[in-house]
Amino acid sequence: MVCLTPVVMIENEKINIPAHVAMIMDGNGRWAEQKGKARKFGHEEGMEAVRRVTMRASERGVKVLTLYAFSTENWKRPPQEVHFLMQLPIRFFDRFVPELQEKNVKVNMIGFEEKVPSSTKKAIQNAMDETKDNTGMILNFAFNYGSRAEIVKATQTICQKAIDGQINVKDIDEKAIETHLFTESITPYQDVDLLIRSSGEQRLSNFLLWQNAYSEFYFSDLLWPDFNGDVLDEALLSYKNRQRRYGAV
């Protein structure tokens, strides 16, 4: 495999930086409850952690940072909480777009548009438009995202193309499936290199199932609002210390 990712010094160690880092930002509600506050305070503080981690990842030369902001399962939460979460992209961009511009970060989104309020979609679209010419890290929000539903959607599209004679069944290979997933928009970094999950949980929770086929996993016991750039550096160091074999010996 050709490795084009930069080598950066962290604590005097040369390290290979994973091109695509994906994060499951768990523990916001628990963080708030431990402090005797409402869950929304945890989400609010979680947004600050997003800012810290985005800035550090961009400094380290990560190409794509994918954040699991809202899953297709999250609609089952209490309506008030869902409503609050839907406002967060608007608040996030009101506050952070200038900083994203300064760091040359480009915003992208993967997920289903259906059910997302139009004001939220508009905020995300604006941020994507405003940062479309940036050439640095891609900050990729998985929003109303579910991996099985993504694979189902790709399957439907491919089958329809086969029926319409646009593709031969013989030609449906891994590449063909890959190009029908949401992550087509982050080509050539569709595969996750390093998956990080906070808050002590060690599950994938329907997040990028196809794209995580060969990724390294890093779990932290810290609750997401306590996450920061130094924890990201620890994860990057641990990544460097693992031999990646892709099934070979």
Of residues 52, 51, 133, 137, the one with CA closest to residue 94? 51
Pick from 15, 88, 105, 181 the residue near ligand V07 by CB under 6 A: 88
- Cβ atoms of residues 40 and 32 within 8 Å: yes
Nearest-approach distance from CB 104 to ligand V07, in angstroms: 17
The total of other beta-carbon atoms located within 10 Å of residue 204's CB is 15
With CB under 6 A, what is the number of residues at the site for ligand V07?
A: 17
Confirm if 139 and 67 have CB atoms less than 8 A apart: yes
- The interface with ligand V07 within residues 19-48 (CB under 6 A) comprises 25, 28, 43, 46-47
Q: Return the CA Rg of the chain.
A: 18
Q: CB 43 → ligand V07: shortest distance, Å?
A: 4
- Kind of pairing between the strands at 7-10 and 13-16: antiparallel
Quick one: 140 or 211, whose CB is closer to ligand V07?
140
Give yes or no for residue 50 binding ligand V07 (CB under 6 A): yes
Residues 12, 16, 26, 212: which is the catalytic one?
A: 26
Question: Which residue's CB is nearer to ligand V07, number 19 or number 124?
Answer: 124
Calpha distance 87→65 (Å, rounded)? 21
CA 133, 139, 140 angle in degrees (round to 5)? 110
Identity of the residue, 17 or 69, whose beta carbon is nearer to ligand V07 in the bound complex: 69
Which of helix, strand or coil describes residue 33?
helix
State which of residues 31, 58, 100, 141 lies at the interface with ligand V07 (CB under 6 A): 141
The whole-angstrom distance between residue 246's C-alpha and the CA centroid of its chain comes to 22
160 phi and psi angles, rounded to 5 deg: -60, -40
Residue 60 binds ligand V07 (CB under 6 A): no
- With respect to ligand V07, which residue has the nearer C-beta, 15 or 21? 21
Q: Of these residues, 16, 74, 206, 228, which one is catalytic?
A: 74
What is the 8-class DSSP label of residue 207?
S
Among 92, 145, 189, 210, binds ligand V07 (CB under 6 A): 92
Helix (H, G, I), strand (E, B) or coil at 13: strand
Give the residue carrying structure tokens 């990724």: 215
In the bound state with ligand V07, the residue whose beta carbon lies nearer, of 40 and 161, is 40
- Measured from the CB of residue 224, what is the shortest distance to ligand V07 in angstroms? 5
Q: Tell me how far, at minimum, the Cβ of 89 lies from ligand V07, in Å.
A: 4
Return the amino acid letter for 235: A
According to CB under 6 A, which one of 15, 21, 57, 69 is a site residue for ligand V07? 69
Is 26 an annotated catalytic residue?
yes
Q: Note the residues at the interface with ligand V07 (CB under 6 A).
A: 25, 28, 43, 46-47, 50, 69-70, 85, 88-89, 92, 109, 124, 141, 143, 224
Give the residue numbers marked as catalytic: 26, 74
